[in-house]
Structure formats: structure tokens, C-alpha cells
């Protein structure tokens, strides 16, 4: 009886690793992340000019999805002149700038009278208003940037010594 074939991760008799075929599930998963990244980025860009459609959450979602489906897009977004600082602050500190908070809050507040005016029924405008209020509360509870360094009494950063003892 011949020996069984080695597992896909086992080395070949020649000593090199066995070449794997494309993993169809992995390819599909990456394609879905890629599609989500581009869709979220497109919605974020539309949100720049369309009141009521937020930019920041869609750009952050695009960065998250791109990191899983398109490394080139992820690098591009992190280095982008407009979106890069927002993405880097969020990834490093969970922070949203004060300007982004104000823009989002004003955009959501501007949507309230539009919803009120165009809603066909009185009950139809309450769910989005409640969601916007919850999002605004959550957003304003986020930090606004990296934590500031602790300063000494004279305004300088404290001296660091290897022993933990002063001087």
C-alpha cells in the first residue's frame, strides 16, 4: 500500500513547500471586502456634498474593509491628504476631530426639518431622528485626538530616567 499524500502544508520530498491552489472562499471573502471598501468610499465622497449622508463613518468603514480586501487602497486611504489624518486618529486612538463632530452634528440637525417636512406619517420621522440623536451622543463621547503628554510643573515634559527615580 503506498503512503498517503502529504497534507497541503507538509513539505514536499524535495524539501520545498507544496504550492497551494487558489482558495475560492478566501478569494470571495477578499472580493467582498474590496467591494465594501469601494462602496463605502463612494458613499463617503457623496456625503461630502449631500447633507444627511455622513462622510466620516463611511470613510472609516472603507479603511476597515480595505485593510481586509485591498492593501493598496488601505495604504492610499491612510496617506490621503483629507482622509488620512481622520483614519489614522481613529485607528490609533478611536478619536474623531472636533471639526468632524461639529460637521456631523450640524448635518444631522439639518436633516431633522427635512424629515419632518417630507415624512408621509408622523411616526415615520421619529426612528431616524432617534438614531441620529444616539449617533450624535456616541460621537461626542469619542476622544478628539491623541492623548496629550503629561507635563511637569514648569511646562516641560518630565525627564525620563532608567531607574524611575528623579534626577
Contact 131, 72 (CB under 8 A): no
What's the grid cell of residue 71?
A: 492593501
Q: Measured between alpha carbons, how far is 44 from 77 in angstroms, rounded to an integer?
A: 12
Length of the chain measured in residues = 167
Q: What is d(CA 140, CA 100) in angstroms, rounded to the nearest whole number?
A: 10
* Residue ranges in the chain whose pLDDT is less than 50: 10, 12, 16, 161-167
Closest CA to 138 of 114, 104, 109: 104
- pLDDT value of residue 64: 94
Torsion over CA: 95, 92, 81, 32 (sign): negative
pLDDT at residue 104, as a whole number: 85
| Rounded Cα distance, 158 and 166, in Å | 9
Predicted confidence at residue 161, as pLDDT, reads 47
Alpha-carbon distance values, 132 to 106, 113, 139, 140, 161 (Å): 11, 13, 10, 12, 49
pTM score, two decimals? 0.62
Amino acid at each position: 500500500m503506498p503512503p498517503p499524500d502529504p497534507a497541503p502544508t507538509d513539505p514536499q520530498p524535495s524539501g520545498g513547500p507544496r504550492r497551494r491552489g487558489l482558495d475560492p472562499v478566501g478569494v470571495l471573502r477578499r472580493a467582498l471586502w474590496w467591494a465594501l471598501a469601494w462602496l463605502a468610499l463612494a458613499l463617503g465622497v457623496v456625503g461630502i456634498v449631500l447633507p444627511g449622508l455622513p462622510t466620516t463613518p463611511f470613510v472609516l468603514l472603507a479603511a476597515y474593509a480595505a485593510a481586509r480586501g485591498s492593501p493598496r487602497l488601505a495604504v492610499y486611504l491612510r496617506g490621503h491628504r483629507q482622509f488620512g489624518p481622520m483614519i489614522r486618529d481613529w485607528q490609533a486612538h478611536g478619536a474623531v476631530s472636533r471639526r468632524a463632530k461639529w460637521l456631523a452634528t450640524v448635518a444631522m440637525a439639518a436633516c431633522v426639518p427635512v424629515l419632518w417636512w417630507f415624512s408621509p406619517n408622523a411616526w415615520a420621522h421619529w426612528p431616524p431622528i432617534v438614531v441620529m440623536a444616539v449617533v450624535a451622543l456616541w460621537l461626542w463621547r469619542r476622544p478628539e485626538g491623541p492623548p496629550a503628554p503629561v507635563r511637569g510643573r514648569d511646562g516641560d515634559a518630565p525627564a525620563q530616567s532608567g531607574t524611575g527615580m528623579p534626577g
